[in-house]
Amino acid sequence: MLSIQGLKAEVDEKEILKGLDLTVGAGEVHAIMGPNGSGKSTLAHVLSGREGYAVTGGSVTFDDRDLLALEPEERACLGLFLAFQYPVELPGVNNTYFLKAALNAKRKYHGEDELDAVSFLRLMKEKLKVLHLDDSLLKRPVNVGFSGGEKKRNEIFQMALLEPKLAILDETDSGLDIDALRVVANGVNALRSPERSMLVVTHYQRLLDYIEPDYVHVLAKGRIIRSGGKELARELEDKGYGWIVDEAAA
């Protein structure tokens, strides 16, 4: 599904990703952990095509396509989804309208009919059952005045509607209270399927108690320096990153 090889990327001529390798198969959930500033969000942004990052080496294929050659919206339409670490506010843009436009953009890309308002609302109701989101958020402008937790939930709700093939969740757990964490995790789990892969960026074992990853990777200084199963996350929780970073440097 996703294959990253020797990926190097820089921002403002500062190299952030320094030869990153990662392969994600269909249906797999990979957790990415790592110290602050190690390049996790940068990876997420480069994968989804954000401007301002210069890719200086390596390749990324997504479903046998050269992902890096595509515009961000094409990547989205082909099934890539990024749940933002910091979701963006769109003043005056109604949340429901935004969701409908996003879904229809994707349908149009695939040559499907656009959903009318009625069918869309029906679909939205269905998805709301899985992911308890306050109705009123759907009537407000996108993310404007949403609490931190509401923004994160809204991201996952978008994901549920857009049904991506590969979802990148960038610290979706930070800012969530304990109950919200469970709700969001349940929502994510409900979306797990043999066709859907996930890259879950997190700092905490807590999230991985709910969303059990197939693989855990440690990203430090722009590279994956260790990969393992879910037990690796537990080990990190106990011992921190220092020992791996030191080992990798040695």
Partner 1 sequence: MSATPDDVLPGDTKTAAQTSTKAAQAEAEYGHLVKSEYEHGFVTAIESDTLPPGLDESVIAIISQRKGEPQWMLDWRLAAYRKWLDMPTPEWAAVHYPPIDYQTISYFSAPKKKELKSLDEVDPVLLETYEKLGIPIEEQKALAGVAVDAVFDSVSVATTFRDKLAEAGVIFCSISEAVQEYPELVRKYLGSVVPPTDNFYTGLNSAVFTDGTFVYVPKHTRCPMELSTYFRINEAKTGQFERTLIVADEGSYVSYLEGCTAPQRDENQLHAAVVELIALDNAEIKYSTVQNWYPGDEEGRGGIYNFVTKRGDCRGDNSKISWTQVETGSAITWKYPSCILRGDNSVGEFYSVAVTKGRQQADTGTKMIHLGKNTRSTIVSKGISAQHGIQSYRGLVRIAGKAEGARNHTQCDSLLIGDKCAANTFPYIEVKNPTAKMEHEATTSKISDDQLFYCRSRGLTEEDAVSMIVNGFCKEVFNELPMEFAVEAQKLLSISLEGAVG
Give the interface with Mg ion as residue ranges (CB under 5 A): 40-41, 85
Q: Tell me if residue 128 falls in helix, strand or coil.
A: helix
* Pairwise CA distance, residues 27 & 34, whole Å: 23
82 binds partner 1 (CB under 8 A): yes
- Going by C-alpha positions, the residue among 135, 131, 141, 132 that lies closest to residue 163 is 131
Region binding partner 1 by CB under 8 A among candidate stretches 2-10, 89-97, 121-129, 174-182 = 89-97
172 binds ligand ATP (CB under 6 A): no
For partner 1, the binding residues in 111-170 under the rule CB under 8 A are 141, 158, 162
Q: Which helix (H) or strand (E) holds 215?
A: strand 215-220
Residue 42 interacting partner from ligand ATP, partner 1, Mg ion, none (CB closer than 5 to 8 Å by kind)? ligand ATP
- Would you list the DSSP string of 175-212? T--HHHHHHHHHHHHHT-BTTBEEEEE-S-HHHHHHS-
40 binds ligand ATP (CB under 6 A): yes
For the CB of residue 8, give the shortest distance to ligand ATP in the complex, in Å: 13
Q: Are 37 and 6 in contact (CB under 8 A)?
A: no
Token code pair at residue 73: 């919206």
User: Which residues contribute to the site for partner 1 (CB under 8 A)?
Assistant: 48-52, 71-73, 75-77, 81-82, 84, 87-93, 98, 101-102, 105-106, 109, 141, 158, 162
Residues that bind ligand ATP (CB under 6 A): 11-12, 14, 16, 34, 36-42
